[in-house]
Amino acid sequence: MIPSDSRSRNGSPLRPAFSGVASYRVDQPTVGEELHPVIHAGRVALVTGAASGIGRAAALEFARLGLKIAIADVNVAALESTGKQLATMVGAANVLVVPTDVAQLEQVVRLRDKVYEAWGEVRRVSSISVSSSTAAVPLYSRSPHSMPICSPFHVYIICPHPTLPHPSSPIHPPTRVVPTRAAHPEIVAVLMNNAGIGPKGTSWGGIENWRSVFDVNLFGCVSPPPLPLADPYARTGRIVNVQQTFVPSMLHQENQAVIINTGSKQGITNPPGNAAYNASKAAVKSLTEGLAHELRERPDSNVTAHLFIPGWTFTGMTGASGLAPAKPAGAWSAEETVLYMLDRVRSGDFYILVPDNDTKREVDQLRIMWGAADIAEGRPALSRWHKDYKALFEEYMRDGLAQLE
């Protein structure tokens, strides 16, 4: 229990335990672009939700840096428009436009296949002449696309097996297929999971919106391993993902790669109004934290994960689709947000908390610390918006900002 003071108010993070800022970050030297050499000419960036807003701005910035660009979105007309602009920058051969609904597994798999067909090279293995005293095992396609989604790619070497009997087989001469790990295609260097929607779902209403927002915002990024086709849920958004479709092959690339998942401040501070969207983005935060941990625990891992948390950004979801005539003064443009994000990726940050013209980083830090202290100090849920705590929160913010100045 937090002891009360003479003011008879539940403690705020400023009294006495917290300073209101993230005090325990390990100091790191300033680093340049060499920390993540994936963002340079000739490598491949895949961006979902690339038809508009932040996704489009990211694709255009990757093109300016000379990367090959694969873009995906459910909005076909806008996606093709983005693709045409990219082609003028890097050439049509370096742009791949794949209309994709990330809430549909078969479409995500098709997206992966098209990316690898366009730019992937898997080493061919020639047959070896063998005698008739060999075992026969069915010969699988060399294509990585025929492998299970969560399996690393393999090539299959045909070689003699001198001891096993020779069963009947359509393969002549009889052969044995031995799986062996080979050099994996150096394809996707930047995987940006950016698809997102925001239909309203309250805590007890809008169930269809709940399903839609989770299918796109969460299951479009990740899901459990595929279920058997006989399972009644196997054809729903439950197994739809980008992360588990692409990451297994990225793990085995010799060169570095990055995964950028787009979250939201609403998934951290949880403001009232759209419980469905907030919950989906809170889940994205959790899964990306888990991904980052799993990646760094792998020996010799060359892949890093980053949680991209935009500020107020003028995009299709926030007004640029025609609902507002011009960018509000307080918002950042999508281009500004992307440039800030890439700078923080180069610096190795996991949490990329983006400010805007209305909200400084220090304000975000104080709000996040207040929300965490709701749990630590036993305050009501979302006390920032509670009538009995509103004045205390405002005082906490004033004091916190004054201390930082």
Q: Which of 170-174, 321-325, 367-371 shows the lowest mean pLDDT across its residues? A: 170-174
Contact 192, 48 (CB under 8 A): yes
- 28-51 pLDDT, tens digit each: 434 444 445 788 899 999 999 899
Query: Measuring CA to CA, which residue among 197, 209, 187, 189 is closest to residue 74?
Result: 197
Higher-scoring residue by pLDDT: 228, 115: 115
The predicted model gives 65-85 an average pLDDT of: 95
Per-residue model confidence (pLDDT) at position 179? 35
Q: Which of 15-19, 336-340, 363-367, 377-381 shows the lowest mean pLDDT across its residues? A: 15-19
Dihedral sign (CA 361, 306, 221, 231): negative
Rounded Cα distance between 392 and 383, Å, is 10
Q: Which residues contact 312 (CB under 8 A, 6 or more apart)?
A: 318, 328, 330, 331, 332, 356, 357, 358, 359
The percent of residues in the chain predicted with pLDDT above 70, rounded, is: 62
Contact 305, 290 (CB under 8 A): no
Rounded Cα distance between 49 and 196, Å, is 7
Q: How many CA atoms lie within 13 A of 123 on its CB side?
A: 12
Give the long-range contacts of residues 278-286, CB within 8 A, separation 24 or more.
279/214, 280/213, 280/214, 280/217, 280/218, 281/217, 283/214, 283/217, 283/218, 284/217, 284/218, 284/221
Per-residue model confidence (pLDDT) at position 276? 82
291: confidence class by pLDDT, cuts 50, 70, 90: very high
pLDDT greater than 50 at residue 157: no
Strands 155-159, 176-180: parallel, antiparallel or unpaired by DSSP? antiparallel
Per-residue model confidence (pLDDT) at position 321? 54
Pair of tokens at residue 217: 């915002």
The pTM of the whole model exceeds 0.85: no
Provide the 8-state DSSP code for 153.
P
280: confidence class by pLDDT, cuts 50, 70, 90: confident
Per-residue model confidence (pLDDT) at position 30? 40
Per-residue model confidence (pLDDT) at position 249? 85
Per-residue model confidence (pLDDT) at position 386? 96
The percent of residues in the chain predicted with pLDDT above 90, rounded, is: 45
Rounded Cα distance between 160 and 177, Å, is 9
The predicted model gives 237-266 an average pLDDT of: 80
Q: Strand order of the sheet with strand 68-73?
A: 95-99, 68-73, 44-48, 188-193, 257-262, 303-309, 351-353
Average pLDDT, the chain: 73
- 90-112 pLDDT, tens digit each: 999 999 999 998 777 788 889 99
- Cis amide linkage into residue 228, ω under 30° from 0: no
The predicted model gives 378-400 an average pLDDT of: 96
The predicted model gives 135-145 an average pLDDT of: 35
pLDDT greater than 60 at residue 239: no
3-state secondary structure of 179: strand
Rounded Cα distance between 375 and 359, Å, is 24
Per-residue model confidence (pLDDT) at position 176? 38
Higher-scoring residue by pLDDT: 200, 54: 54
pLDDT greater than 50 at residue 126: no
Higher-scoring residue by pLDDT: 218, 380: 380
Rounded Cα distance between 32 and 346, Å, is 6
**How many of the other CB atoms lie within 10 Å of CB of 347?**
16
Per-residue model confidence (pLDDT) at position 397? 97
pLDDT greater than 80 at residue 148: no
Per-residue model confidence (pLDDT) at position 189? 94
Rounded Cα distance between 368 and 375, Å, is 12
- 314-355 pLDDT, tens digit each: 875 555 555 556 889 999 999 999 999 999 999 999 999 999
